[in-house]
Amino acid sequence: MTPTVAIVGGTGLTALDTLKITHRESQSTPYGEPSSPLIYGDLAGRAVVFLARHGTHHTLPPHQINYRANLWALHRIGVRQVIAVAAVGGIREDMAPGVLAFPDQLVDYTWGRHGTFFEDNLSHVTHIDFTEPYCGELRMRLIRAARELNLDARESCTYAATQGPRLETAAEVRKLERDGCDIVGMTGMPEAALARELEMRYAACAVVANRAAGKAPGAITMAEIERNLVAGMNQVKALLERAISTLGEAHSS
């Protein structure tokens, strides 16, 4: 069965051990090579495909990910719903390490990334509506699954997409907070917009890996991030199994 649901894994989720793998497939696209082979399998009785956003061995920094190739490859095989998993920093007070968050808005601070499919050999200029950057129905599937599993989750927040790969300064985080952002990550854009251009339903499951710069004493360490992600990603795996089992078919966003 051709999967219509994809899981895109970020930092902390370069593989999905709950997926019963059937086969792997390398893809080429008009935009280059995707970050990783597409991993096909069964999750909660449903055919899904998994893609590692940062590469199989987590070697691609956020600003060098080929977002267009990733989304194009998924769309070409028939994927219509994308659940994007990402590690983030917590800005809002209740965004403590280990919390799950389902953003409903985002602010894009990235630059220099290939952010659209609509730029070459156009017959007309295309502007997508991006008022609501995440699919409301798919978000609610994730939220309901989190409620059923009694997970510590935040059901509404704004995601700040920064350039990376460095973490932010404390002053930058204060600016993000003034702009109304609640969590900060580096991969939310242009991924969300590209999915919308391809009329794919797209929702994000963010795992708070650390307090953002200046929100806790001392420096942020990778050891701290990795430690928090272990527990957070175990919750994500349970969430994905519950949510995937409830998904219907989708043909547009």
Backbone CA torsion sign across 150, 151, 153, 155: negative
Model pLDDT, residue 250: 44
Helix/strand/coil for 224: helix
Helix/strand/coil for 96: coil
Describe the crossing of helices 222-244 and 136-148 by its angle, rounded to 10 degrees: 100
Residue 18 near residue 241 (C-beta atoms within 8 A): yes
Model pLDDT, residue 248: 61
High-pLDDT (> 90) share of the chain, %: 72
What residues contact residue 76 under an 8 Å CB cut-off, 6+ apart? 27, 29
Residues 96, 90: Cα–Cα separation, whole Å: 6
Residue 72 near residue 29 (C-beta atoms within 8 A): yes
State the average pLDDT over residues 188-192: 97
The mean pLDDT of the chain is: 91
- Find the range with the poorest average confidence among 41-45, 120-124, 152-156: 120-124
Give residue-wise pLDDT tens across range 102-117: 999 999 999 999 999 9
Model pLDDT, residue 12: 61
Give residue-wise pLDDT tens across range 35-69: 999 999 998 888 999 999 999 888 999 999 999 99
Q: What is the CATH number of domain 5-117+125-244?
A: 3.40.50.1580
**Residue 15's pLDDT band (boundaries 50, 70, 90)?**
low
Nearest 5°: phi and psi at 99? Answer: -75, 145
State the average pLDDT over residues 189-211: 96
Q: Is the pTM of this model over 0.85?
A: yes
Give the start-to-end residue ranges of the domains of the chain: 5-117+125-244
Give residue-wise pLDDT tens across range 210-239: 999 999 988 888 888 888 888 888 899 899
State the average pLDDT over residues 177-201: 97
